[in-house]
Structure 1
Amino acid sequence: MTDDARARGLTRMQEVYGWKPPEIDGAFFATTVDHLFAEIWSRPGLSDRDRRLLLLGALTAQGRMETAEIQIHGALHNKEMSEEQLREIALFLCHYVGWPNGTRLDTAISTVTARVRDGGEPRMRRLK
Structure 2
Amino acid sequence: MTDPSSAMATMARTAPKLAELTEQVLFGDVWCRPGLSQRDRSLATVSALVALYRLEQLPFHLHRALDNGVTPDELSELVTHLAFYAGWPCAASATTLLATALAER
TM-score (norm 2): 0.82
Distance 2:19 2:92 in 1: 30
Higher helix share: 2
Match of 1:28 in 2: 18
Question: Structure 2: which amino acid aligns with 1:81?
Answer: V
2:61 maps to 1:74: no
Distance 1:52 1:87 in 2: 14
SS state at 2:32 partner = coil
> Judging changes above 3 Å, is the alpha-carbon distance between structure 1 residues 32 and 98 closer, same or farther for their aligned structure 2 residues?
same
> Judging changes above 3 Å, is the alpha-carbon distance between structure 1 residues 20 and 99 closer, same or farther for their aligned structure 2 residues?
closer
Deviation at 1:77, TM superposition (A): 2.8
Deviation at 1:20, TM superposition (A): 7.4
Match of 1:87 in 2: 76
2:12 maps to 1:47: no
Match of 1:57 in 2: 47
Match of 2:28 in 1: 38
2:96 maps to 1:107: yes
TM-score (norm 1): 0.69
Distance 1:20 1:96 in 2: 29
Q: Which 5+ residue runs of structure 2 have no aligned equivalent?
A: none
Per-residue deviation, residues 10-31 of structure 1 (Å, max 9, x unmatched): xxxxxxxxx8745633111011
SS state at 1:38 partner = coil
Percentage identity across paired residues of the two chains: 33
SS state at 1:63 partner = coil
What number of residue pairs does the alignment pair up? 97
Distance 1:41 1:99 in 2: 29
